[in-house]
Chains A and B, each alone.
Chain A
Amino acid sequence: QKEVEQDPGPLSVPEGAIVSLNCTYSNSAFQYFMWYRQYSRKGPELLMYTYSSGNKEDGRFTAQVDKSSKYISLFIRDSQPSDSATYLCAMGMDTGRRALTFGSGTRLQVQP
């Protein structure tokens, strides 16, 4: 079993839809939770960062962390064709390995 599980998709939605992307994890030591967006043949870029549990909002993006369920989500409101990309969740810890563990990524296609 992988430490971080993410549905690879692809997920296809119409423009303007609300998108929900999710990851589950097994390691309770994870404290940092991030979402990266990756366009084709490019390096990922950081979208959202959350420390421990809770919600964080930035424009059209909302990140949620539920540590009791070991479940994180990214919501995209009013989705745009430019949001079409692969979304990767990533997690890290304060002790032990000081490098992020990534999910496999979910490919999102927003249809105009």
Chain B
Amino acid sequence: DGGITQSPKYLFRKEGQNVTLSCEQNLNHDAMYWYRQDPGQGLRLIYYSQIVNDFQKGDIAEGYSVSREKKESFPLTVTSAQKNPTAFYLCASSRRTGGNVNYGYTFGSGTRLTVV
């Protein structure tokens, strides 16, 4: 079955540590996205990538980094520069956008990151 897998489901980070969240898809989608979800704030865009080896900052990119070396994978690193990283992180993928194309997202089941 095609889908998008995020791991781990729960992650604990100590102050000053970098952590990497995994996102893998086997839907043959070109585009991939990272969103952060906090209570009452909906989904806020961190980074997105339309094609391999290219990505763009979203609204809250500070303190995060990404790479897109393979079509299937879009890992997110939460660095020590991110001062308030405790949140629910969602990865999504879609067909490449443009024109009258349904580019609805397929989401993973999320990673809950907690700073301890």
Whether the pair B42, A105 counts as a contact (CB closer than 8 A) is yes
Whether the pair B104, A46 counts as a contact (CB closer than 8 A) is yes
- Assembled-state Cα–Cα distance A99/B110 (Å): 18
B40 within 8 A of A: yes
State how many angstroms separate the Cβ of A40 from the closest Cβ of chain B: 11
B41 within 8 A of A: yes
- Assembled-state Cα–Cα distance A49/B103 (Å): 9
**Which A residue's beta carbon lies closest to that of B98?**
A94
B84 within 8 A of A: no
Interface residues of B in 94-113 (CB under 8 A from A): 97-100, 102-110, 112
- Assembled-state Cα–Cα distance A53/B107 (Å): 26
Q: Chain B interface: which size bin? A: 20 to 34
**Which A residue's beta carbon lies closest to that of B107?**
A43
Whether the pair B31, A49 counts as a contact (CB closer than 8 A) is no
* Chain A window 75-98, contacts with chain B (Cβ cutoff 8 Å), 1 for yes, 0 for no: 000000000000010101010011
Known: A41-B110, A44-B90, A92-B97. A102 touches B104 (CB 8 A): no
B52 within 8 A of A: no
Chain B residue numbers with a CB within 8 Å of A51 are 100, 102
State how many angstroms separate the Cβ of B29 from the closest Cβ of chain A: 13
* Chain B window 11-44, contacts with chain A (Cβ cutoff 8 Å), 1 for yes, 0 for no: 0000000000000000000010101000011111
Known: A88-B42, A98-B48, A98-B50. A43 touches B109 (CB 8 A): yes
- Choose from B50, B103, B112 the contact partner of A32 (Cβ within 8 Å): B103
A60 within 8 A of B: no
- Choose from A92, A99, A104 the contact partner of B42 (Cβ within 8 Å): A104
Whether the pair A99, B109 counts as a contact (CB closer than 8 A) is no
Known: A88-B42, A99-B33. A45 touches B99 (CB 8 A): no
A8 within 8 A of B: yes
Binding site for A on B (CB under 8 A): 6, 31, 33, 35, 40-45, 48, 50, 56, 58, 88, 90, 92, 97-100, 102-110, 112
